[in-house]
């Protein structure tokens, strides 16, 4: 019954992770509560004690990841990352496969030492700028850049949270930790194969979708906005599908009349006071004032002079997983009061939105069209969790503090690699000195930490303990061994490799690795082969899964690249299969079975 219960929890967790209706950290806490409180056996106790459930949060993995987040924030705050992006923009060739190769090489090199989501967010603006200058549609460059950020994480221990989590679990299981550059030879092969594949195969599969109107500064994304029909408007008594709005190619999505929501049809007539939910491109949204008697419904009313004033700027901003706007509605975010900005419209790729935009809960990947004073727009460049998609650049490079951050980062890598200091202490020391040196203030440092990821890793480590304690890991290991053992240990390793890749589609890479890891280690012990080899195999499998766009790095480019789900499957499936075959055969070469 305990095994059935743990497997049921695992299935439920996978489904919840896939639907994304509940935050991953909340799901993790729910799993821990169930493992502690649901009684089993004669003693009528939970599977885990409270100490066992929260033991993962005291692991040094949490310190390592938290320190890396702080170091990344310092590199961003001092302008180092923006300087690298600007250098890429100047160095990149004009077009063709060379452009893809340069972008992927630069991105994977940086991602080897930083969180891939951070690297993707940092590279997004420069790559869009390069695409504009080279007259290449962003859809041809953004997905290769996201893939490079993911694959670059396979080169070092700190390249991705998955590596750190697996290394910590191996240490807990009594096995040697993973060295800082131990996986680099295989990681370099993975990156090279990924770059070659995308240059010669992948970029020809990618869609060639225009993301910009060549005559405008803003993308031709169809934004959702609200307009109000004022007294005396010529729209009053016009049929909604034959009105003056049709002249500007607006599509009427919904009509709000008083407290009633109306689904418009061919006979629906506009009335005074109606709030009309419309969908249209930015260029036409900016012309809405030319229709007398209507205006954009925003948190701050703007007149025609404001819309055209040089002091007011309009910008597109992309929400990343670190934005404090995610999970809030526009009303709750209160941009007018907090940032003196107006949210004019919202864009959400691949989904028809039927809610009033003020009540819409914001998600990672949403793009907001905001307007406000130029100084406020420029400040968005330094706002954590927001990526500017237009050409406004506000972050300036601070040479002195930037140099301090770079030197400290390099010293922490060297000290941990040579065994002078433990990995956790080396990066924690670097993070603390960066804060003391003023490279980043403490508030920004805390904002930059992805607390949900830390909760996920700490909680899923405890879930691995439950799998071991109840015999679930043994049960699943036996199942996979019985299925593949007739073909030898390599076939069993391939079976776990495939299982990990499949689980990373609905789950995060780190969560999938921590779920499969205890099972793989048990299977290795049953086969009398090196369990560490199986552990590294699971870790690498989690990092080369590029089929579904659920990885945060892929989510960030989903909207700006105007991608569809099928684009990721068509482009990533072949690359994932190719990498899987190569890595499975490389693992025994570097880590003996």
DSSP string, 535-581: HHHHHHHHHS--SSTTSHHHHHHHTTTT--HHHHHHHHHHHHHHHHH
Identify whether residues 423 and 485 lie together within a single domain: no
CA distance 253 to 257: 13
Written as six digits, the tokens of 389 are 């998609």
* 79 domain residue, yes or no: yes
* 592 domain residue, yes or no: no
In tens digits, what is the pLDDT along the chain, a chain of 593 residues?
888 888 888 788 777 776 667 777 888 888 889 888 888 766 678 888 888 888 878 877 788 778 877 887 787 778 776 666 556 656 656 567 888 998 999 899 988 887 777 677 667 767 876 776 677 888 898 999 999 999 998 999 888 878 888 988 898 888 998 988 999 999 999 999 999 999 999 989 998 876 443 333 334 456 667 788 888 888 888 888 777 776 666 778 778 887 777 777 778 888 888 888 777 765 566 556 555 667 766 533 444 344 444 455 677 788 877 788 888 887 787 776 777 777 777 777 655 555 566 677 888 778 887 877 777 777 776 676 777 765 334 444 577 888 888 899 889 878 877 778 887 888 899 999 999 988 888 887 887 777 777 787 778 778 777 877 887 767 777 788 888 888 889 999 999 998 888 877 656 677 778 888 888 998 898 889 999 999 999 999 988 988 876 676 776 677 678 787 788 888 999 999 999 999 999 999 999 98
Q: Going by C-beta distance under 8 Å and a sequence separation of 6 or more, which residues neighbour residue 517?
A: 166, 169, 464, 535, 538, 539
Chain CA centroid to CA 479, Å:
34
The SS3 assignment for 513 reads helix
* 580 domain residue, yes or no: no
Q: Which residues are bridge partners to 346 per DSSP?
A: 224, 368
Written as six digits, the tokens of 422 are 């433990």
Identify whether residues 66 and 185 lie together within a single domain: yes
Written as six digits, the tokens of 172 are 């807990």
Greatest alpha-carbon pair distance for the chain in Å reads 84
Q: What is the predicted pLDDT for the residue at 507?
A: 62
Identify whether residues 348 and 485 lie together within a single domain: no
Q: What is the predicted pLDDT for the residue at 590?
A: 93
Identify whether residues 203 and 241 lie together within a single domain: no
Identify whether residues 168 and 37 lie together within a single domain: no
Run of H or E residues at 312: strand 312-319
The residue from 451, 469, 490 where one domain ends is 451
CA distance 519 to 464: 9
The residue from 405, 431, 451 where one domain ends is 451
The residue from 388, 423, 442 where one domain ends is 388
Q: How many domains in the chain?
A: 3
Written as six digits, the tokens of 460 are 């899923």
Identify whether residues 270 and 375 lie together within a single domain: yes
The SS3 assignment for 364 reads coil
Neighbours of 574 (CB within 10 A): 16
Task: Please identify which residue in the block is written with the tokens 């055209």.
Answer: 308
* 485 domain residue, yes or no: yes
Q: Which residues are bridge partners to 276 per DSSP?
A: 227, 255
Q: Going by C-beta distance under 8 Å and a sequence separation of 6 or more, which residues neighbour residue 51?
A: none
* 189 domain residue, yes or no: yes
Domain extent, residue 104, equals 62-212+396-451
Identify whether residues 118 and 51 lie together within a single domain: no
Identify whether residues 356 and 236 lie together within a single domain: yes
Measured over the CA atoms of residue 405, residue 408, residue 412 and residue 418, the dihedral's sign is positive
Identify whether residues 244 and 383 lie together within a single domain: yes
Exposed/middle/buried for residue 442 (C-beta within 10 Å: 0-12, 13-18, 19+): exposed
Q: Going by C-beta distance under 8 Å and a sequence separation of 6 or more, which residues neighbour residue 446?
A: none
Helix residue ranges, H only, 198-333: 203-205, 244-247, 282-285, 304-308, 330-333
Run of H or E residues at 430: helix 423-436
| Of 583, 504, 494, nearest in space to 547 by CA | 504
| Of 263, 104, 266, nearest in space to 194 by CA | 104
CATH number (domain holding residue 232): 3.30.70.1450
CA distance 564 to 548: 11
Secondary structure E strands in 237-311: 251-257, 260-262, 275-280, 294-296
| Of 579, 466, 454, nearest in space to 519 by CA | 466
Q: Is 164 in contact with 568 (CB distance < 8 Å)?
A: no
Written as six digits, the tokens of 237 are 């008594």
* 587 domain residue, yes or no: no
Measured over the CA atoms of residue 240, residue 245, residue 247 and residue 253, the dihedral's sign is negative
- Give the CA distances from residue 340 to residues 312, 374, 395, in Å, rounded to whole numbers and listed in that order: 11, 11, 19
Residue 227 phi/psi, 5° resolution? -125, 150
* 589 domain residue, yes or no: no
Q: Is 466 in contact with 508 (CB distance < 8 Å)?
A: no
Identify whether residues 265 and 381 lie together within a single domain: yes
The SS3 assignment for 273 reads coil
Identify whether residues 426 and 527 lie together within a single domain: no
Residues constituting the chain: 593
Identify whether residues 259 and 369 lie together within a single domain: yes
Q: What is the predicted pLDDT for the residue at 173?
A: 85
Exposed/middle/buried for residue 418 (C-beta within 10 Å: 0-12, 13-18, 19+): exposed
Q: Which residues are bridge partners to 387 per DSSP?
A: 318
The SS3 assignment for 260 reads strand
* 579 domain residue, yes or no: no
Q: Going by C-beta distance under 8 Å and a sequence separation of 6 or more, which residues neighbour residue 14?
A: 503, 506, 507
Dihedral in degrees, nearest 10, Cα atoms 252, 256, 257, 260:
130
Q: What is the predicted pLDDT for the residue at 219?
A: 41
Written as six digits, the tokens of 265 are 């049809």
Q: Which residues are bridge partners to 61 per DSSP?
A: none
| Of 184, 178, 199, 121, nearest in space to 151 by CA | 184
Q: Going by C-beta distance under 8 Å and a sequence separation of 6 or more, which residues neighbour residue 355?
A: none
Q: What is the 3-state secondary structure (H, E, C) of 24-40?
A: HHHHHHHHHHHHHHCCE
């Amino acid at each position: 019954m305990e095994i059935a219960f743990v497997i049921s929890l695992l299935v439920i967790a996978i489904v919840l992770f896939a639907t994304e209706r509940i935050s991953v950290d909340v799901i993790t806490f729910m799993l821990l509560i169930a493992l502690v409180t649901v009684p089993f056996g004669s003693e009528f106790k939970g599977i885990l004690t409270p100490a066992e459930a929260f033991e993962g949060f005291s692991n040094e993995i949490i310190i390592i990841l938290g320190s890396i987040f702080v170091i990344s924030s310092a590199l961003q705050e001092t302008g180092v990352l923006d300087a690298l992006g600007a250098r890429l923009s100047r160095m990149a060739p004009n077009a063709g496969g060379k452009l893809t190769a340069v972008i992927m090489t630069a991105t994977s090199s940086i991602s080897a030492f930083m969180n891939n989501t951070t690297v993707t967010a940092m590279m997004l603006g420069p790559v869009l700028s390069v695409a504009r200058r080279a007259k290449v549609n962003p859809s041809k460059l953004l997905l290769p850049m996201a893939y490079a950020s993911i694959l670059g994480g396979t080169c070092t221990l700190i390249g991705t949270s998955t590596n750190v989590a697996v290394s910590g679990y191996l240490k807990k299981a009594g096995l040697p930790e993973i060295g800082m550059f131990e996986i680099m030879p295989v990681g370099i092969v993975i990156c090279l194969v990924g770059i070659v594949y995308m240059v010669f195969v992948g970029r020809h599969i990618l869609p060639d979708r225009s993301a910009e109107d060549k005559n405008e500064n803003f993308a031709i994304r169809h934004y959702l906005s609200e307009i109000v029909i004022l007294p005396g408007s010529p729209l009053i008594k016009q049929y909604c599908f034959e009105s003056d709005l049709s002249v500007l190619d607006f599509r009427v999505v919904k009509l709000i009349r008083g407290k009633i929501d109306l689904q418009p049809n061919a006979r629906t007539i506009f009335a005074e006071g109606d709030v009309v939910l419309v969908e249209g491109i930015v260029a036409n949204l900016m012309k809405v004032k030319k229709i007398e008697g209507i205006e954009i419904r925003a948190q701050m009313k703007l007149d025609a002079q404001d819309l055209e004033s040089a002091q007011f700027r309009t910008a597109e901003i992309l929400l990343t997983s670190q934005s404090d706007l995610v999970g809030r509605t526009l009303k709750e975010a209160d941009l007018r009061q907090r940032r003196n900005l107006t949210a004019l419209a919202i864009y959400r790729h691949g989904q028809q939105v039927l809610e009033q935009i003020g009540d819409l809960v914001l998600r990672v990947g949403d793009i907001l069209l905001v307007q406000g004073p130029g100084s406020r727009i420029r400040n968005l460049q330094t706002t954590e969790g927001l990526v500017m998609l237009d050409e406004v650049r506000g972050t300036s490079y601070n040479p002195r503090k930037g140099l301090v951050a770079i030197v400290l980062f390099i010293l922490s890598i060297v000290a941990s690699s040579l065994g002078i200091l433990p990995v956790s202490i080396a990066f924690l020391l670097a993070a603390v000195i960066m804060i003391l040196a003023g490279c980043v203030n403490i508030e920004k440092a805390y904002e930059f930490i992805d607390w949900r990821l830390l909760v996920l890793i700490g909680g899923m480590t405890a879930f691995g303990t439950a799998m071991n304690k109840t015999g679930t890991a043994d049960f699943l290991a036996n199942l996979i061994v019985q299925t593949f053992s007739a073909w030898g240990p390599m076939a069993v390793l391939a079976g776990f490799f495939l299982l990990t890749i499949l689980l990373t589609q609905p789950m995060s890479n780190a969560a999938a690795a921590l779920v499969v890891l205890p099972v793989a280690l048990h299977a290795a012990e049953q086969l009398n082969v090196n369990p560490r080899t199986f552990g590294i195999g699971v870790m690498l499998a989690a990092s080369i899964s590029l089929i579904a766009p659920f990885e945060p790095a892929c989510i960030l480019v989903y909207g700006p690249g105007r991608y569809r789900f099928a684009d990721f499957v068509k482009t990533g499936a072949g690359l994932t299969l190719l990498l899987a075959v190569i890595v499975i055969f490389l693992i025994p070469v570097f880590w003996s079975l």
